[in-house]
Each structure stands twice: as C-alpha cells, then as structure tokens.
Structure 1
Amino acid sequence: MDKEKAYYFRTINELKRDSIVVKDYYRSGRLQMDGTYSSYPNYKNGTFRWYFEDGKLRQEARIKGDTTFKYREYDHEGNIKKQQELLQVERTENGKKSFIYVYADRFPEYPGGSEAMLQFIRDNIRYPEALRKKNTLEKVVVRFIVERTGKVTGASIVESTNRKLDSEALRIVNKMPNWSPALVDGVTLRCQMSLPISFR
C-alpha cells in the first residue's frame, strides 16, 4: 500500500523470540498504536495502547490471544470515559450457581488499593524461622471469594511451593478487612479472586 494514501503505517520489531513489538503511525509520523505479540499476527500478548494524533493516550488494553482482560478509554483531557475488567463472578442459571467470566465496571479492590494490601501482608505475615534461614523465595497462591458485602470468604490453596506455608497464607487472607465488591451493570456480585503471596 502506498504510504502517502494510507491512514497509518506499521513497523514490526522482534525484540526476542517470543516478543514482537508492533507500532502503527499516523501519516504525520506520530504514534497511533503500540503493542506486543508473541506470534505475529496471530497472538497478541501484552498491553496495547492507542493514541490521539497529538500524542495523548486514547485507549489501552491488556490482551492475551483473543481475550481482553482490562480496557480503558480516555477523553482528550486524560479522564477515563470507560473502563472494564474481565473477572469471575457468580451467576445463577436454572437454579445452579457457577462462576463465569464477565466484564466488570469495577474490579474488587482491597481498601486503599494494592499498595495498602501489600503493606497489610508485610505487617501480618509470619514466616517460620527455620524456613527464613534457608533464604529461599516461596510462593503460595490463594483463591477466595469477595462477597457482595465485600467480605472475604472461601479461601483455598491453588498453588504452593512449600506446603508448610499454606496455613499461614490462608490465615493472612482470612484476616483481611472487607474489600470493595465487584460491580457489573450497577449491581454488586460475588467474585472469585486469586492472590499470590510471597515468602522471603
């Protein structure tokens, strides 16, 4: 295609074997979009951003394959016009309850945000001295439910590098204060979450 007639043009750069950066430019030469593929053009894998022609951010999305996990759209002043996140919420169909993936208007959030949650974990975690002396990094992934009220329930272990730490990870999650619940179409819903807890 003639570059002079195209609305935008594209450059493709392979940073490493599984990381291909694609950038689209307006005819003016200003960046229109950038994103990462693990296999071009079939598999998107990373954060994609789209820009107004004056360089201001217009949209951003976290994409893996055909699935968009997080999406935000901005106006020209940088205010968020629309945002959605993919999460698991409980739905009842034919009398049966199950967790399905939907796009939420508001993702469940620990009070004060992720930094406050990390501080809560650091302040409350008890790392067995015998394991601490080994100076190894351990990780336990806990799955739990954020109820419509924000209460954390149903904590369970889904992944662990050291079973001796499972009970401590569960204790930490069960001790958490109420979260802000998920919001879908203006309605609060039960949501299933996963949280990795690192011991070092």
Structure 2
Amino acid sequence: MQMKSSLLLISFIFLFHLGYSQNDTTIYYKANQKPALGKEDALAFTKIKKKSENECKFLYFGKKGERWIRSKHTRILTVENDSTIKILNQFTRNEYYKTFKPVGDYFYIKEYHKNGNLRIEGLSKSNIYNHWEGQVKRYFTSGELASISRYKNNQVRGNKNWLKNGKPFIDNIYTNVDVMPQFPGGELELKKYLTANLKYPQEAVEKRFYGDVYVSFVIDEDGSVVGTNISKSLNSDFDQEALRVVSGMPKWTAGKLDGKPVKVCYTVPIKFRMH
C-alpha cells in the first residue's frame, strides 16, 4: 500500500508540474529564454513527450533563418521517487541527477554532475523542466563555482563568472539574444578566416597528430573578441595555436538584447587536419 501511494504521488507531481491536459506538451522561448506564446513568436522550443507515468523525453529545437533545427541532445527524464529525477542525454550518454524540494510556489532544484559534484542549484517554477527565478549557481565538474546568475521569469538579468582556476572572468554574459553577433561577412567568411590563418604545429605534422580544439570567447559590446579560453583541449601546441587565431579575429558586429549591445559568449571548434 505504501509503494502504491508513493507511485501515485510521483505520477501526480510529474503530471501536475508539466501542466498536462494531454500526453505531450511544448514550451516556446524567445531570446534569453523569455517565454513565448507560440511557434510563430519563438526562437526555440522544447517538446516534452510522455513515455510512461514516470518517464518523459525532452526534444530541443532552435531556429536558424527560416528553418527549425533539432538538437542531437535529446534527454530522457525518469522520476525515481518523490524528490529525485534521473536525466540521460541520449547523444553523449551522460547521466546525472536532479533533486527537488517544494519552497512555497517554487521548487529548490539541485542538479549533480556524474561524479557527484553539484552542477546547478536554484529556484524553479517546475520540478521537471527548469524555469528559473532569483539566484542560480552553476559549478564546474570539479566542483568549483562557475557562475552566479540573477533570473526573472526565466530570463537572465545579470551574472558573475569565474574560470576553473577560481579567477574572476567577464560578468554579465549572455548566450541567446535578440540579434546575435556576426563575424564580418557572416559565417562563411569566419570559416575562411580560420582556414587561412591556422598554422599546423610542426611537431604535430611530424607525428601526424590531428583533432579539434574548442575555444570559448566573448563578443564585447563594441564587437571586440575578449576572454578567449580553451573549453576542450587537444594538446598544448594545438591549444596555443587555436587561441592565437581566435584572439586575432577582427571586430564582430555586437549582439543586442532589448535593443542594447550586450556581451555574448561563443564556442567554436578549431579543426586541425592534414591534407
């Protein structure tokens, strides 16, 4: 009888906080994760498909030009008990957990990295999908604090950021804005710039090394490229060359949110290939 009651509670929490009137639901977003009324008004949307009483699938879509592109990072959420949800990224096979605790009209959410370290924590209007309100903290896999953000109705209103070594980074960075920054001439010209300026490290040529380095950077309010750092390393020679090329990029057209220039974070793969 106790087990049956627990299952009913789990089912109730699951269905109620998704706002289900049927099996599936879709959540639409404008720039900066601002809730949108429908697809015609949105830049992204999340489709939540119910698989069973305690399991659902999250499908993510983003708009590129006039096309909707589906993300590879489909997630499966499984409600394990009345305070814990297991999350599986089907693309990376990364599995992690979130816990939730009712706090007034909200839930206090804690998500954990696979190694058990805290990943993110803060207040959300839903225990199933994250709709943030107030202060939200994010952490690196190693456990160090990565950022403290302020949210209002799921929209970022400001943030403080740190590097993995604990040093302060650039504050008030956005990832999704009304007008995204643009390299002079567009995406094709960016690819041409990277190809033309990238120099293959001599030692790597001799040893026939190849691979990708991921470089993160910020486009400042005036279009300058600042805050370059390695988000996925290959080796020191490749890393330094990737940083050199990205740091030397010309000014971009700055991104805008609510009509004002803002700092926007980017990550690009720098591909080292021998031809």
> What's the TM-score once normalised by structure 2's chain length?
0.41
Tell me the amino acid that sits aligned with residue 59 of structure 2.
Answer: N
Give the match's secondary structure for 1:91. strand
Q: Using the alignment, how far apart are the partners of 1:104 and 1:59 within structure 2?
A: 18
Within a 5 Å distance, the mapping from 1:1-200 to structure 2 comes to 42-47=56-61, 60=68, 62=70, 91=158, 98-99=171-172, 101=174, 103-200=176-273
Bigger relative CO (Cα 8 Å, ≥ 6 apart): 1
Tell me, which stretches of 5 or more residues in structure 2 are unaligned? 1-45, 76-128, 131-155, 161-169
Give the match's secondary structure for 1:179. coil
Q: Using the alignment, how far apart are the partners of 1:163 and 1:132 within structure 2?
A: 14
Give the match's secondary structure for 1:198. strand
Structure with a larger share of its residues in strand: 1
Q: Using the alignment, how far apart are the partners of 1:46 and 1:92 within structure 2?
A: 24
Alignment coverage as a number of residue pairs? 136
Q: How much has 1:150 moved relative to structure 2?
A: 0.3
Q: Using the alignment, how far apart are the partners of 1:178 and 1:116 within structure 2?
A: 13
Give the match's secondary structure for 2:244. helix
Q: Using the alignment, how far apart are the partners of 1:39 and 1:164 within structure 2?
A: 47
Tell me, which stretches of 5 or more residues in structure 1 are unaligned? 1-34, 50-57, 68-88
Q: How much has 1:121 moved relative to structure 2?
A: 0.7
Counterpart contact for 2:174–2:265, Cα < 8 Å: no
Tell me the amino acid that sits aligned with residue 91 of structure 1.
Answer: G
Give the match's secondary structure for 1:106. coil
Question: Deviation digits for residues 78-103 of structure 1, max 9, x if unmatched?
Answer: xxxxxxxxxxx88369xxx7346564
Give the match's secondary structure for 2:184. coil
Q: Using the alignment, how far apart are the partners of 1:90 and 1:125 within structure 2?
A: 37
Tell me the amino acid that sits aligned with residue 170 of structure 1.
Answer: L
Counterpart contact for 1:150–1:179, Cα < 8 Å: yes
Question: Deviation digits for residues 38-60 of structure 1, max 9, x if unmatched?
Answer: 995833335479xxxxxxxx873
> What's the TM-score once normalised by structure 1's chain length?
0.54
Counterpart contact for 2:173–2:265, Cα < 8 Å: no
Q: How much has 1:112 moved relative to structure 2?
A: 1.2
Tell me the amino acid that sits aligned with residue 56 of structure 2.
Answer: N
Counterpart contact for 1:90–1:189, Cα < 8 Å: no
Q: How much has 1:155 moved relative to structure 2?
A: 0.9
Q: How much has 1:168 moved relative to structure 2?
A: 0.7
Structure with a larger share of its residues in helix: 2
